[in-house]
Chains A and B, each alone.
Chain A
Amino acid sequence: DTEVTQTPKHLVMGMTNKKSLKCEQHMGHRAMYWYKQKAKKPPELMFVYSYEKLSINESVPSRFSPECPNSSLLNLHLHALQPEDSALYLCASSQRGGRDGYTFGSGTRLTVV
């Protein structure tokens, strides 16, 4: 299995809703990442988990809350989002600290209304 699976593929949520994005990989990778990508911009790193511990938080607002229940799963909990948070949210995983590159999931297209 060489895939990173993200669900859901599309999500529309109101500003008062609570929702979660899910990511799963079975490649034995020990590092997992959340990226945010706005239209015509490169992916921007949000969080890095290494061996199930949060190692990097790129000053992301607290309305985004990551969770890594085990080495194969990564969640992103969303609460009280703003319309400007609408974007493509990408999950990725890597081995060896990313020296061989990251494998990205297909992403969740999030729209906040």
Chain B
Amino acid sequence: QKEVEQNSGPLSVPEGAIASLNCTYSDRVSQSFFWYRQYSGKSPELIMSIYSNGDKEDGRFTAQLNKASQYVSLLIRDSQPSDSATYLCAVNRNTGFQKLVFGTGTRLLVSP
């Protein structure tokens, strides 16, 4: 079982729709969860972080965390073509030697 799993996609949504991206993780001691956006040929950019169960909103982005189900999601409202990118879920294991582990990423395509 991979430590962090995502559907590779592509996930295709029309402009203005809600894009829903999902991620599951296997290590129950994980405490910090992140969503990175990566455009082709560029480096990952941190867009959301979440640490507690529930929802966290920032502009058009909402991150959701359910530690009991070991599940993290990202909702993008009013999707724009500029949101087309690969979204990487990342989990930080805050025990021992801490390191950020990435999922394989979900490619999002937003069509005009």
List residues of A whose CB falls within 8 A of some B CB: 31, 33, 41-43, 45, 48, 55-56, 88, 90, 92, 94, 97-107, 109
A and B contact pairs by CB, cutoff 8 A, 29 listed: A33-B99, A42-B103, A42-B104, A43-B88, A45-B99, A45-B100, A48-B99, A55-B97, A56-B97, A56-B99, A88-B41, A88-B43, A90-B43, A94-B100, A97-B92, A97-B94, A98-B32, A98-B98, A98-B99, A100-B49, A101-B34, A101-B49, A101-B100, A102-B46, A102-B100, A106-B42, A106-B43, A107-B42, A109-B41
Please give me the residue from chain B that is nearest to A58 by CB atom.
Answer: B99
Residues in B neighbouring A55, C-beta threshold 8 A: 97
Taking each of B31, B42, B49, B99, which has the highest tally of chain A beta carbons within 10 Å of its own beta carbon?
B99
Residues of B within 8 A of A (CB): 31-32, 34, 41-46, 49, 51, 88, 90, 92, 94, 97-105
Q: A43 and B32: CB pair below 8 A?
A: no
Other A-B contacts than A31-B98, A43-B102, 11 sampled, CB-CB below 8 A, are A42-B105, A56-B99, A90-B44, A97-B92, A99-B32, A99-B51, A100-B32, A101-B46, A103-B46, A104-B45, A105-B43
What 7 A-B pairs are tightest by C-beta distance, nearest first? Answer: A42-B102, A97-B98, A104-B43, A107-B43, A101-B46, A101-B34, A99-B32
Q: Which residues of A contact B51 (CB under 8 A)?
A: 99
A41/B49 in contact, CB under 8 A: no
Residues of B within 8 Å of A42, CB to CB, are 88, 102-105
Minimal Cβ-Cβ distance residue in A for B45: A104
Contact partner of B97 (CB less than 8 A), chosen from A43, A48, A104, A105, is: A48
Contacts A98-B32, A99-B92; is A104 near B44 (CB within 8 Å)?
Answer: yes
Q: How far is the CB of B26 from chain A (nearest CB, A)?
A: 15
Q: How far is the CA of A92 from the CA of B46 in the complex (A)?
A: 12
Question: Closest Cβ of chain A: how far from B21's Cβ, in Å?
Answer: 14
Residues of B within 8 A of A88 (CB): 41, 43
Cα(A106)–Cα(B41), bound, Å: 9
Q: Are A101 and B32 in contact (CB under 8 A)?
A: yes
A39 to B46, CA, bound (A): 20
